[in-house]
Structure 1
Amino acid sequence: MFETLNPAAPDGILMLMSMFRDDPRAEKIDLGVGVYKDATGKTPVMQAVRKAERRLHETQATKSYLGLAGDTVFNELMIGLLMGDKADRTRLRAAQTPGGTGALRALSDLLRLARPDATVWVPSPTWPNHVPIITASGLTTNIYPYFDAYTNSVDVDAMLDALEQLPAGDVVLLHGCCHNPTGADLAPEHWKTLADLMVRKGLIPLVDIAYQGFGEGLEEDAAGVRILAETVPEMLVAASCSKNFSVYRDRAGAAIILGRNRSEADIAYSQLLGVGRCIWSMPPDHAAACVRIVLHDDDLRANWQAELESVRLRMLSLRNGFAEALRRQSNSERFDFIANQRGMFSRLGLTQTQVMELREKHGVYIVSDSRFNVAGLPGDRLDDLAAKVISIL
């Protein structure tokens, strides 16, 4: 049986991790892997999550199943975190999933059931796993223009012009905030224009929001999702707790649907739970339970928000510092865009040859499209790193 198979294409980021691990140079720098790192290079457990874990350990009396939807209190709290207090809860439903990736797969399967002939349009560029997840559900994908590499910003006009050409019923994948891999986000006024276009053209938004709290702030980063929810009749949202709660390996996320009315939301939700039943049956509990404890306890929630804000401000500081160091080393404004972008990622605009040279000559590891992890920047060696970047241009 297995002799009919060909080797799977290697994952570029996982290969980069292996290469970095095997590199003996003491001064090597890992800017590739997409996890938050503190000043010591560690990915810490957040204080509020640690306290929630202790409370869970002390009070949890059983490991029995919770049901297809997982932790229903967690689900309601996630709706509140994403949609705010003014959201129409009668039309919103959420199911717990194994991370944001699980939410994307479940929502893709739901789309295949509801609109099997629809095309899912993804921005260029986008997270490399988006297309494989969506096509694995049997859906067709295509791309729309998003990022202008010349200005290092969103090409809003090209994006809107392209979406104007799409047929009713097609799906548009959007990054809720902190675009991966570019760090270039839509402004609030662009979200409003986009929402109106979606209604007028009969398009369905599929929002992937994996970094809420990493960009402009916890509430500010949800602005785009909320503008859409207030405007469009239907939408899908894949939310991740991996980054903003730092529960990466424990896998907690939510698949959220907005229906045109209560009845259609209930029907779609029943199908969403059926999708989950066929993939993972029951979602894992530990991380979602910890998130639920944090969000449900005023003191823990305040502690979490304060730590999340410190994470956001640290990344902003690193962005500004790196942009300034690159300006000094290059004697130009070429890299000033880094300070204006948001989230954990930006791209340096290097060729693959330059990326390889940076790795081989200087032990600086970034992804082949020149995406780098802002949180991995060495705060005490920014000028040295900037000099290495400039040396290979």
Structure 2
Amino acid sequence: MFETLRTQPPDKIIELMKLYADDPREGKIDLGVGVYKNPDGVTPVMRAIKTAEKRLWEDQTTKAYVGLIGDPAFNDAMVALVMGDAIERAQVASAATPGGTGAVRQAFELARMANPDLRVFVSDPTWPNHLSILKHLKIETVPYRYFDNATGTVDVPGMLADLEQAKPGDIVLLHGCCHNPTGANPGAGHWREIVAVLKQSGATPMIDLAYQGFGDGLEADAAPTRLVATSLPETLIAVSCSKNFGVYRERTGALMAVAQDTDRVAALQDNLAYLNRQNYSFPPDHGARAVTMVLTDPELRADWEAELEDMRTGMLRLREQLAAELRARSGSDRFGFIAEHRGMFSRLGATPDQVQRLRDDHGVYMVGDSRMNIAGLNEKTVPLLAEAIVKAGV
């Protein structure tokens, strides 16, 4: 039977990680893999998480399964973190998932159950795994314009024009903040325009919220999601705890389905539980339990928020430093958009040849579309990167 199988195309980011690991040069810079790193190049266990895990180790008396949707306290805490007071808890169905990727997968599955002829409108570009999962599920994708390479900003007119083509039964996939891979985000006024187009089209929004707290702060980063969820009849929200809690390997996430009509919530909740059962039965709990402890303990939460804010502002300082170094070396402000982007990523606008030149000549590793992870830098490597970018002719 297995003679029919063929090898899959290599994952570009995983391939890049191997190339970086095999490079013997001491001055190499890894801007490819999408994880936060501190100035020492370490992805740390956050202080509050470490404390929560210690308490969990001391107090936990069983490793028995949790329910199909995970610990109810985790779902309550995550809904409160994302939605604040914008939506009543009774309007939200929620289930724990294995990371944000699990939430994205379950959201696509749920939407296809509701509409077998589902189309998903996806920003061009988007996180590659969005497209990979949709292809695997054989769900039709429709790209919409998003990023203007010339200016490093969101192509709002193009985006809105393309989204006008959506119709009832379609899903429009949006990044809640810190767009991956570009780092460019719509402004508050643009979000209101997006909501107006969605209202007119009748399409259902799905928000991938993987970086809350990494952009402009926890509340500011949640504002677009809250606007969408309070303005439209139904909204799907896929949430990841990997970045803002640093629990990457614990696979901690949640899928939320918001309905203005509370009569629909019971059926949504039942279907979320059903999908969990079909795909992995009971979701992971260790990371979710630690996150719940952090969010519900005032001391731990204050410490977590303080460390998260340090991470966020540190990335902003790196952006500003890189933009300034590039301005000084290039004699122009054409890279000023880097300071305006938010989150871990920016799309530099380099050609594949220039990206290859950065790798071969300067040991700078970034994804082929020139997405770079700002969190892979520190104060010492920023000038080296700026010099390499100019020398590579970007």
TM-score of the aligned structures, taking structure 1 as reference length: 0.98
Alignment of 1:51-66 (within 5 A): 51-66=51-66
User: 1:157-188: per-residue Cα shift (whole Å, max 9, x none)?
Assistant: 11111111222221100000000010000111
User: 1:261-306: per-residue Cα shift (whole Å, max 9, x none)?
Assistant: 2221110211111111111100011000000000010010000000
Who is 1:368 aligned against? 368
Conserved 8 A contact 2:233-2:259: yes
Who is 1:321 aligned against? 321
Q: Percent identity?
A: 51
Q: CA RMSD in A?
A: 1.0
Who is 2:110 aligned against? 110
Conserved 8 A contact 2:121-2:166: no
| Distance (whole Å) between structure 1 residues aligned to residue 322 and residue 208 of structure 2 | 28
Who is 1:160 aligned against? 160
Who is 2:185 aligned against? 185
Amino acid at match of 2:291: V
Please state how far the C-alpha of 1:366 moved relative to its aligned partner: 0.5
| Distance (whole Å) between structure 2 residues aligned to residue 199 and residue 12 of structure 1 | 37
Amino acid at match of 1:55: R
User: 1:326-370: per-residue Cα shift (whole Å, max 9, x none)?
Assistant: 111111111111001100000111111111111111111001001
Give the SS at the match of 1:39.
Answer: coil
Conserved 8 A contact 2:98-2:283: yes
Amino acid at match of 1:7: T
Alignment of 1:168-247 (within 5 A): 168-247=168-247
Bigger shift: residues 218-227 or 88-97: 88-97
Alignment of 1:334-349 (within 5 A): 334-349=334-349
Equivalent residue pairs, number: 393
Conserved 8 A contact 1:213-1:309: yes
| Distance (whole Å) between structure 1 residues aligned to residue 110 and residue 137 of structure 2 | 9
Please state how far the C-alpha of 1:384 moved relative to its aligned partner: 2.2
Give the SS at the match of 1:87.
Answer: coil
Please state how far the C-alpha of 1:209 moved relative to its aligned partner: 0.5
Amino acid at match of 1:119: R
Amino acid at match of 1:117: D
| Distance (whole Å) between structure 1 residues aligned to residue 16 and residue 165 of structure 2 | 39
Please state how far the C-alpha of 1:378 moved relative to its aligned partner: 2.9
| Distance (whole Å) between structure 2 residues aligned to residue 340 and residue 227 of structure 1 | 22
Conserved 8 A contact 1:74-1:292: yes
| Distance (whole Å) between structure 2 residues aligned to residue 378 and residue 10 of structure 1 | 29
Please state how far the C-alpha of 1:255 moved relative to its aligned partner: 0.2
| Distance (whole Å) between structure 2 residues aligned to residue 72 and residue 260 of structure 1 | 21
Distance 1:361 1:289, change over 3 A: same
Alignment of 1:1-393 (within 5 A): 1-393=1-393
| Distance (whole Å) between structure 2 residues aligned to residue 2 and residue 10 of structure 1 | 19
Bigger shift: residues 36-45 or 379-388: 379-388
| Residue ranges of structure 1 left out of the alignment (5+ in a row) | none
Please state how far the C-alpha of 1:138 moved relative to its aligned partner: 3.6
TM-score of the aligned structures, taking structure 2 as reference length: 0.98
Please state how far the C-alpha of 1:317 moved relative to its aligned partner: 0.2
User: 1:219-253: per-residue Cα shift (whole Å, max 9, x none)?
Assistant: 00001000011110001000000000000011100
User: 1:56-96: per-residue Cα shift (whole Å, max 9, x none)?
Assistant: 10111000011101111010110011111231222111100
| Distance (whole Å) between structure 1 residues aligned to residue 34 and residue 381 of structure 2 | 20
| Distance (whole Å) between structure 2 residues aligned to residue 137 and residue 274 of structure 1 | 18
Bigger shift: residues 290-299 or 111-120: 111-120
| Distance (whole Å) between structure 2 residues aligned to residue 338 and residue 300 of structure 1 | 33
